[in-house]
Amino acid sequence: MEGGVTLSMFFNGKRILIIGGTGTIGKGLLEKVLQEEPKVIRIFSRDEQKQFLMQNQFAQDARLRFLIGDVRNYDRVHTAMEDIDYVFHTAAMKHVSFCEYNPFEAVLTNIIGTYNVIKAAIAQKVKKVIFTSTDKAISPTNNYGATKLTAEKLITSAEYSKGSGKTVFASVRFGNVMGSRGSVIPLFKKQILENREMTVTDKSMSRFMMTLDQATSLTIEAMKLAKGGETFILKMPVVSLGDLVQVLKEAVSKKYHIPPDNIMIKEIGLRPGEKKYEELMTYDESLHAIDLPNMFIIPSPFQQSSQYKNGKKAKPGTYQSGNQEPIRKKELRELLEKLI
């Protein structure tokens, strides 16, 4: 059934490749896809240590294969996709500051790497590829966002440029995933425990936030629903950085018995390329978007209009964190409970 993650056992007996499989999203995808009894899941990443740890964690599962490789290397990606049915492409350079100071490295991984994934998937006759993008790809002010926007465009245009190839390509756009390697939450916690301070860029900032479960569920739902060239966007709450800092300070101080007055909050200003607010959908995209109960779908400009169960035309407007009401501290406290 379309409209939710209810196409049960979609991956049953199938061969799956998770590129960037040792990352937070990759591991979350692995745990969910395993529940549907796939034949094989290949974990592809360049992180030997994380592969070693994951291999030990899932030592009893004969369905897993671990491949060291880099998306920059087309031949390795091509080999990894042999006889694969479905590909999740989550590998990327993700930290804004590192992409700012190492711009061409970000191009090599985020753009050239994505092009290699597309080319290999068509050559190996993969059924579907889902690419994980970011809200920073919308009206980008930093190199990370610009490379992800270009990668998104490559995925969307692959529907046009693949010729006689049958592979279906689509993207998902995330906000900030709570507790992931790129999240500020583990960083703030570490700062409190080690230095009794939190370095905050600007407390008036706001961000779209989602849990790891929401992120992985959206990615799997996109895989199941994708018809070609779409971008899937979860409807997610907005969090005020000022509220996040205050709630996190209270929660960590309570759990670790640290007097709250001993924890200093230091504002340091926006870093190079950093935005005060984030967008998940532009006004122009909203004119064509489909509104589902839990997500928006931006159809491919290269495909004829597709129908989705429970889908309706979206209301025109921007989906921006600065013009939406942040969630209350109580709700934020509940979301953070499991992460600290």
173: closest CA among 123, 137, 202, 124? 137
Q: Which pairs with CB-CB distance under 8 Å and at least 24 residues apart come from 191-197?
A: 192/248, 192/249, 192/252, 192/253, 192/256, 192/258, 192/263, 193/252, 193/256, 193/258, 196/258, 196/262, 196/263, 196/264, 197/263, 197/264, 197/265, 197/266
- Both tokens of residue 146? 């610009």
The residues, ordered by sequence, that sit 6+ positions from 221 with a Cβ below 8 Å of its Cβ are 4, 5, 232, 295
- Annotated catalytic residues are 136
Q: Which pair of structure tokens corresponds to residue 87?
A: 């590909």
User: 3-class SS at 243?
Assistant: helix
